[in-house]
Amino acid sequence: MPRGFLITLEGLDGSGKTTQIKRLAAWLKKRSPADPRPEDPGARLSRQGLASETWDSRRGLVLTRQPGGTATGDRIRALLLDSRSTALAPMAEMALMFADRAQAIAEVIQPALDQGKIVLCDRFTDSTEAYQGGGRELGSEPVLELHRLLCANLQPDLTLLLLPSLEASLDRARRRNESASAKTGQDEGRFELEQDAFYSRVWLKYREIAAREPHRIVLIEGDLTIDEVHEKIAAAVSERLLTASRTG
């Protein structure tokens, strides 16, 4: 059984990750040798080899998120994102992020990769480096060391980093959380209470990570439409999966 493929989506809150990971999952599920769907973005690359050489829907697709994605992770998520968790120390926050991640890898991600599945994960260690390393000013070194110790240094095969303007992301995230809280009563707005300076540090750290690891990270910048972002994502995934099939 060939090893699976881990794709992570990264970006600020309000960058459109949740929408795009759902669209990517739906797009991948349509890939099959008999159904290239030429009307979809990226279909040209599919006809060149993705559908027949790399992606067979029978291998399976796993969609998950961090924090969360497991029973334990969902409990950690509730604590981390609840705006009432005001006294949480930065180191404790980072430790909880890694506790969630280690559980997700052991319970969901690694088993799926071992079964040859494609795993789509909404956030991974790049988020911790950006938010805790950058935003909380803990630095990159402790984040990367904890990832090595607690996560066996598992690296995504491809990371899609969505980086619209800081202003657009923050406005969308704050409006989204207000709406979600009003509809469901669920409070996940702790990070949205941070000042713009915090998010500026997160945004800059994301750019630093992208510059450091261009072989892994595809940076999608600017205030693009949902369709424009999806088209770029589909093309990047098609190309990377096709490359993996030829080298693996």
Range(s) of the domain holding residue 194: 5-23+67-222
205 assigned to some structural domain? yes
Q: Are strands 61-65 and 158-163 parallel, antiparallel or unpaired?
A: unpaired
Residue 158: inside a domain, yes or no?
Answer: yes
What CATH number is attached to the domain comprising 130? 3.40.50.300
Residues of the chain with pLDDT > 90: what percent? 65
Has residue 248 been placed in a domain? no
pLDDT computed for residue 172 by the predictor: 79
* Res. 181: pLDDT tops 80: no
pLDDT attached to residue 81: 93
**Per-residue pLDDT, 179:** 63
**Domains of the chain: total:** 1
* 238 assigned to some structural domain: no
Please indicate, yes or no, if residue 30 is contained in any of the structural domains: no
Cβ-contact 203, 127 below 8 angstroms: no
As separate numbers, helices (DSSP H) first and strands (DSSP E) second, the chain gives: 10, 5
Which of 165, 83, 73, 86 is CA-nearest to residue 122?
73
Give the pLDDT score at 37. Answer: 46
pLDDT band at 246 (very low <50, low <70, confident <90, very high): low
Quick: pLDDT tens for 203-216.
999 999 999 999 99
Q: What angle do CA 80, 85, 89 make, to 5 degrees?
A: 80
Q: What single DSSP character describes residue 58?
A: G
Tokens for 120, please give them.
């789509």
What would the mean pLDDT of 92-102 be, rounded to a whole number? Answer: 98
Q: Which residues contact 15 (CB under 8 A, 6 or more apart)?
A: 162, 163, 164, 169
Indicate whether 230 belongs to any domain.
no
- Cα 38 to the center of its chain, rounded Å: 26
Q: Tens digits of per-residue pLDDT, 46-78? A: 333 333 334 555 569 999 999 999 999 999 999
Does residue 79 carry a pLDDT above 50? yes
Q: How far apart are the first and last CA of the chain?
A: 12
Does some domain include residue 33?
no
Residues 6+ apart with CB under 8 A from 157: 5, 6, 7, 216, 240, 244
Tell me, letter by letter, the H, E, C secondary structure of 17-56.
HHHHHHHHHHHHHHCCCCCCCCCCCCHHHHHHHHHHHHCC
